[in-house]
A and B are shown apart, each in its own frame.
Chain A
Amino acid sequence: MSYFRAENLSLHFGGLKAVDSVNFAMEKGEILSIIGPNGAGKSSIFNLISRLYDPTSGRLFFEDQEITHEPPYSIAKLGIARTFQNIELFENASVLNNLLVGRHRHCTSSLWQEILYMPSVRRDEKIHRHKVEQVIEFLDLEPYRDRVISGLPYGVRKVVELARALCTEPKLILLDEPSSGLNVEETTDMSFWIRDMKSELGITVLMVEHDMSLVSRVSDRVIALNYGKVLAMGQPAEVQSHPDVVAAYLGA
């Protein structure tokens, strides 16, 4: 049995087939990239997995449990975290508070304990803070800890969003275009972090990416998508040179 699996996954918007009978499976600890031209349905697959959209048909499995009908908030509780193509951070909160929201799935205190700020709440807060600090260190975010998001440059926001996803201590992470809008240096950092996530933290990575050099540097396997359909699947070099994929990118 595979670690994560999408079976005949489809999503239709009226007549538009954004995702059309997509099948794929992932092994634990793998880095799988989804590539494809604009509008291919890549982000739609992510939104289906995080249950923001209901699939028109098909099923999703994670760790042998069907998650097709779970509510969105329990996806994070199961250990799937994500980032967004158009950064979705909590704009008016500090970096620290954004990351602490990432700890939400590990919070157990009741309303009354919080209103009275009981010792147990205080103790938990310190544990969460400690975990958050580990992620801050991992991603070199120390200078930005107390800064409010709305005043941060784009590149830093991108990293904060990744950090927030890591704070949930995910087993599977979904990255929607992690390098878009980053400069060469930042993209290099990103590629190292993605590899470290796999090797040091043991996280399985599903990623949508347009930057082919980043894709070939970090991916174990690649899926090419066009008009919601899988064109090719396999080794990065293999998929990139697949005639259908080349044709899709050239717009033929």
Chain B
Amino acid sequence: MKFLFKTDYEDDIRLFPHSGYLWTYGTLLVLIAAAPFVLSSYLISQLVFVSIYAIVGVALLILTGFTGQASLGHAAFLAIGAYTTAYLQQFGVPFPVYFLTAGLLTGIIGAIVGFPALRLHGIYLVIATISFALIVEEILARWESVTHGNEGLRVKTIQMLGTTVPRDSAGFYYLCMGVLIVVILGAINLLRSPTGRAFVAIRDSETAAKSMGINVSLYKVKSFAISAAITGLAGCLFAHKLTFISPEMFTLQLSIEFIMVILIGGAFSLHGAVLGAIFIVMVDPFLTFLKDDIPGAIANFSMLMGAGAERAAAIEKSTAAVASANGLKGAIYGFLIMAFILFEPLGLYGRWLKIKLFFQLFPLYKRATFKRQKIYVKSERNR
């Protein structure tokens, strides 16, 4: 077991509470930097998606996890960031300018969405944010002079410091990781400041927050604006990664994926956003694997078990049909959401903390350690 002695208020404020953290994150940073030299270009490309999803995850965590305001409209914020990018590029605006503008504009729209959302709670807020997303989708399809409607828009390669940064280059990967790290650091700072505590206060008791002098409406709008702005930045990167954007890329399905990022990762910690993003992005390669390799493997296996060649071919065909069925992804997502809400409401990060605690306390770990917490989360989360 390890004991920590605190001797200064600084001990509770510090970014890295003790040197162990510095080692862990230092190693992680080295791994991130080394990845392009080691991993295949396909995996690097997936890591770019992980970073983009993680940025949106952090944004959603601030709004939903910390302020308690649910949103199923984040695909729309992502779209606004992406379209701002594509639109401004046409006028030769340099990358840093349109990148920041994408964040700023999306932030302003987030604040505007925040106002009508002030009086809504729980499921009503979810419905309101879905409606907002549908409106945005519709506008993108209809406002042809700006968005080219359903034909979509091309996104040009980033030009920066006299060089180009193609979407599959190591440079673009570093850019995305850099943005993710900066966003996470900013979020950590915000959450350990008065504003972050005000968010948590609003999440847990609006009445008490008010009587402590917190202007609840103002802080809710702030939370919406910050969350939207971060998502707008991710939208800019997303546009560059896809090189082509059209309205059907920003549907409800995408918003649900973002919610899943924080649900699976763990809605009470920034670690959760990153873990959840890795998980969600890796579902796709996993499905490809299912489609390509599993049916053949099962057929071979049944041959081995003594089934005839004809029988094996039939089995291969039927498993292939299941693996490539439409909506398999949706079904897997639905199953995962239910499983996490029922069995692991604190997400992957919560699971990791338990494993860590198990080893720290070994052999004194009690199963009941997290019981009360779990009961609490279950009973209160659907208020």
Taking Cβ atoms with an 8 Å cutoff, the residues of A that contact B are: 50, 52, 71-77, 81-82, 84, 88-93, 96-97, 100-105, 107, 109, 111, 114-117, 121-122, 125-126, 129-130, 148, 150-151, 164, 168
B303 interface residue (CB < 8 Å to A): no
Most buried by B among A92, A97, A126: A92
* CB-contacts of B195-252 with A (<8 A): 195-198, 200-201, 203-205, 207-216, 222, 226
Task: Give Cα A215–Cα B238 distance, bound, in whole angstroms.
Answer: 64
The answer on a CB contact under 8 Å between A101 and B13 is no
Contacting residues, chain A, for B12 (C-beta < 8 A): 96, 129
Task: Give Cα A200–Cα B36 distance, bound, in whole angstroms.
Answer: 64
Closest residue of chain B to A150, judged by CB? B376
Query: Given A88-B205, A91-B376, are A168 and B9 neighbors across the interface (CB < 8 Å)?
Result: no
* CB-contacts of B169-218 with A (<8 A): 186, 189-190, 192-198, 200-201, 203-205, 207-216
The answer on a CB contact under 8 Å between A111 and B372 is no
CB distance from A45 to the nearest CB of B (A): 14
CB distance from B14 to the nearest CB of A (A): 10
A-B contacts, 7 of them at CB < 8 A, read A88-B208, A90-B205, A97-B197, A101-B197, A103-B194, A114-B195, A117-B189
Instruction: Among A93, A114, A126, A168, point to the contact of B10 (Cβ < 8 A).
Output: A126
The answer on a CB contact under 8 Å between A90 and B268 is no
Taking Cβ atoms with an 8 Å cutoff, the residues of B that contact A are: 9-10, 12-13, 186, 189-190, 192-198, 200-201, 203-205, 207-216, 222, 226, 268, 372-373, 376, 380
CB distance from A249 to the nearest CB of B (A): 30
The answer on a CB contact under 8 Å between A111 and B222 is yes
Contacting residues, chain B, for A88 (C-beta < 8 A): 205, 207-208, 211
The answer on a CB contact under 8 Å between B210 and A101 is no
Query: Given A101-B214, A114-B189, are A90 and B201 neighbors across the interface (CB < 8 Å)?
Result: yes
Closest 9 CB pairs of A and B: A76-B213, A114-B193, A105-B213, A88-B208, A90-B204, A107-B194, A117-B189, A72-B210, A129-B9
Query: Given A114-B195, A150-B376, are A81 and B211 neighbors across the interface (CB < 8 Å)?
Result: yes
CB distance from B207 to the nearest CB of A (A): 5
The answer on a CB contact under 8 Å between A115 and B213 is no
Task: Give Cα A148–Cα B372 distance, bound, in whole angstroms.
Answer: 11
The answer on a CB contact under 8 Å between B212 and A168 is yes
Task: Give Cα A88–Cα B208 distance, bound, in whole angstroms.
Answer: 6
Contacting residues, chain B, for A107 (C-beta < 8 A): 194
The answer on a CB contact under 8 Å between B9 and A104 is no
The answer on a CB contact under 8 Å between A117 and B213 is no
Q: A75-B211, A103-B194 are in contact. List 20 more A-B contacts (CB 8 A).
A: A76-B212, A77-B213, A82-B211, A89-B204, A89-B205, A90-B201, A90-B205, A91-B204, A92-B204, A96-B12, A97-B200, A101-B200, A111-B195, A114-B194, A114-B196, A115-B190, A125-B13, A126-B9, A151-B372, A168-B212
Contacting residues, chain A, for B376 (C-beta < 8 A): 91-92, 150
Query: Given A130-B9, A150-B373, are A89 and B208 neighbors across the interface (CB < 8 Å)?
Result: yes
CB distance from A66 to the nearest CB of B (A): 19
CB distance from B237 to the nearest CB of A (A): 19
